């Protein structure tokens, strides 16, 4: 792929070379005014489902581990409309566009975040079979 894919939290200031900043959260940050948004596009389909989000944080249940979270998130990304959005994002990166994937400001551990899994999908997987 010719473009670059970065990851940051939405509250991180824009950096030179970020390119298009895409918020990949299911939920928009609360109480944030439209003029204070730090992203160019919001693709909620690329965020974990409400059910998966609740499961990883243990809302109403015992929290799931990261391996289970990763497995379930990848399964969600293999379904439409997420699959279609991934194709679109891959095409943009392949054409040389730089993209920065943004997640919640509360998500401090990048290694255990869906934005990192999503980056791997974009950079490693290039075929349709890589989405499942």
User: Does the structure show a pLDDT above 90 at 129?
Assistant: no
User: Does the structure show a pLDDT above 80 at 87?
Assistant: yes
- CA separation for the pair 107, 114 (Å, rounded): 10
pTM of the model: 0.88
User: Structural domain tally of the chain?
Assistant: 1
- CA separation for the pair 4, 20 (Å, rounded): 10
Which residues, other chains included, contact 95 with Cβ-Cβ below 8 Å and sequence gap of 6+?
2, 3
Domain residues for 19? 5-131
User: Does the structure show a pLDDT above 80 at 64?
Assistant: yes
């Amino acid at each position: 792929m010719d473009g670059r894919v970065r990851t940051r939290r939405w509250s991180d200031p824009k950096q030179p070379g970020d390119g298009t900043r895409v918020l990949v959260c299911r939920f928009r940050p609360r109480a944030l005014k439209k003029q204070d948004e730090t992203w160019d596009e919001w693709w909620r389909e690329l965020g974990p489902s409400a059910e998966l989000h609740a499961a990883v944080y243990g809302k109403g249940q015992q929290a799931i581990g990261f391996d289970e979270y990763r497995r379930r998130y990848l399964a969600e990304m293999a379904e439409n409309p997420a699959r279609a959005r991934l194709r679109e994002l891959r095409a943009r990166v392949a054409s040389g566009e730089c993209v920065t994937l943004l997640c919640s400001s509360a998500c401090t551990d990048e290694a255990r975040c869906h934005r990192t899994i999503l980056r791997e999908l974009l950079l490693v997987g290039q075929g349709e079979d890589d989405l499942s």
